[in-house]
Chain A
Amino acid sequence: MSENQSTVKDTIKKIVNKDFGIYFFTLDTKGNPTAGVATIYEHVKILRELGFNAQILHDKNDYRLKGDEEGMGIADWLGEEYAELPHISIESQQLQVGPQDFVIIPEAFASIMKQTVNFPCKRIVFLQSYEYIFEMLEIGENWNAFGINEVITTNDNLKKYAESVFRNLVTEVIPIGIPDYFKNSEKPKLPTVAISARDKREILKIVKVFFQKYPHYRFVTFRDMSGLPRKEFAKSLSESFLGVWVDELSSFGTFPLEAMKSETPVIGKIPRMIPEWMGETDENGGLKLIDNGVWVTNLNAIPDMVATMVGLYLEDALPENVLNTMKEYENKYSEENTKQHIKEVYNRIIGRRLTELGVVDAKENESKEVDNKEEKITKN
């Protein structure tokens, strides 16, 4: 047996025995909660529960795990159980990857894709936002050029978009799961509006216009939801009678889904990429929206819509159709569903890796769990 064959056999054995790492490159948000980072941590946590050696990979040693005087860490905003997941930094130079390992790189980090081009491991893009795909790519550059042809994303819209932009991608979808700590408040909802906007200036504008036009509603409180620890965020959202969501560049939008699960109706600006749960554009370009929220095309209409909803809240007359349709979405994006998809998708990814290594037939791999493969390898 040649040395090369022996290495391949060794690699395969390691994969089959789950003796490999799945490293998720993660941005240090310095204590600023982001849905994207939370999703990465969720994948790591679930993969570990499934018996895989998944780890968070970050750039510098001073990654903010615990809060300090400068702000929150992962433990504070996401939870202690997430901070306790294994973390490894590139700076520490302890990361050693072999052909059996996987490195998952968020779409924004084209520079990492370039830097790791000679790594022997399998590299996969984690696409959560179309907005950042080209942030660090030069004109004419693409993921294939860096040896990457597999993508994990969170919804079909992003899958379609990525496949329309890049050729020869294998794209897997793992839907977002909304945690069960998003639930309706046990007490009646407060005259508070939970507001989430990518651009903080939009929040100020909405609030200022609202109070200027409707001074008699000065008893309404607006709460900027950015920067809150996840569980506090969930509590605050459930207590609020209304949510406002402005994220023009959103690729999915977890805020409205979290609000629906909390039984808090949302007024939202329709983003450029219409989320699957919000509706779709028909063949004639017409919008077909689902009335699981109040969706507006005009940002300037939001203060007036908020005022209308305040009036309805005061009379217990929030629109029945919205409240009822919201309920249909309460459990559509469950953690259980995400967990099932993670299990299936990563098994397929591992199966394809084995195929790349020339071991087994791809079609067989895609339909069978990695745990069943040892027998085939022995035959080879």
Chain B
Amino acid sequence: MKTDISLIIPIHKLDDSVSEYFTKAIKSVNEQKTLPDEVLIVHAKDKKLKDFLNSFEYGDILPKTKVIENETGDYDFQSQINYGVEKSTSKYFSFLEYDDMLSPIWFDNVVKYKKSYPDVGVFLPIIFECNEKEEFISFTNENVWVQNVSERMGMLDHETLQKIQNFNFDGMVVNKELFLEHGGLKKHMKLTFTYEFLLRLSHLSVDIMVIPKLGYKHINNRAGSLFEEYKNTVNVLESKFWVNKAKKEYFFTEDREITYDVETT
């Protein structure tokens, strides 16, 4: 079945843990009840990484898989995704972090919900947050289904985002045209690029829906992950700075250069 979805898996470095996690991530793609139309593995310029990816056993998804080197030289997460989107050929795209897993029903549900809610531009999964042993910690994104949180149950609206920041777009499925039209992800938004992106799209009246199904398994604060790094290097003041910045930057489609500057107010 054609899903009209390209899956992007960004990977920027090869270290000891990559093989184990990447194997699990690819297994979760192979186990999809409904497979995406293509899988794009976007990697940094690194010979060892390239060799690893080119010799990897992709299983059933091999014919759909393309290993692409990011030629821009920007290997931050946002740039990797933006690059993958440019190279994708489907109407929608999704992404999977190489150290996470998709739940087997995710794309199958996206296909169903796309059909039932054709006006929705972004579909978010309920995320199963777990530790490295895959033990449950909490859910993310589920709270728009709690009564009286958002104006329309299940929809993540701008007002809700202004009040609540802890939404996660891992695994989201986005209309590519809409993503490109509204500026994609911003590499200069450190820490709160997810939040800024969701604010921007909701501000532009894009319907964002949380599919009430487990779509994504996210390993929390894995040693060496981007957010673990932020946790160790970003203090409370800087966190506040980035949250406030997101609340200002969402008015702009272009990725404006921002440097951290302590706010005194």
Q: Which residues of A approach B to under 8 Å, CB–CB?
A: 186-188, 190-191, 216, 218-221, 313-316
Contacts and interface: CB of A to CB of B under 8 A. Distances in A.
B126 A188 contact: no
Contacts of B153: 190, 221
A316 B213 contact: yes
B49 interface: no
B145 A221 contact: yes
Interface string B109-151: 1001100110000000010000000000011001111110000
B39 interface: no
B31 to A, nearest CB: 12
25 contacts: A186-B116, A187-B116, A187-B117, A190-B153, A190-B154, A191-B212, A216-B138, A216-B139, A218-B142, A219-B142, A219-B143, A219-B144, A219-B146, A219-B212, A221-B145, A221-B147, A314-B212, A314-B213, A314-B214, A315-B105, A315-B213, A316-B33, A316-B105, A316-B108, A316-B109
Contacts of A218: 142-143, 146
B103 interface: yes
Contacts of A216: 138-139
B19 to A, nearest CB: 28
Nearest to B147: A221
Contact of B103 (A188, A191, A219, A315): A315
B139 A188 contact: no
Given A216-B138, A314-B214, A188 B143 contact: no
A191 B145 CA distance: 8
A204 B33 CA distance: 38
Nearest to B136: A216
A188 B145 contact: no
Nearest to B105: A316
A219 B113 contact: no
A219 B211 CA distance: 12
A214 to B, nearest CB: 11
Q: List 8 tightest A-B contacts by C-beta distance, closest first.
A: A219-B145, A219-B142, A187-B116, A316-B105, A191-B212, A314-B214, A219-B146, A191-B145
Interface in B167-226: 212-214
B144 to A, nearest CB: 8
Contacts of B105: 315-316
Contacts of A313: 212-213
Contacts of A187: 116-117
Contacts of B108: 316
Given A219-B143, A221-B145, A315-B103, A188 B214 contact: no
A220 B144 CA distance: 11
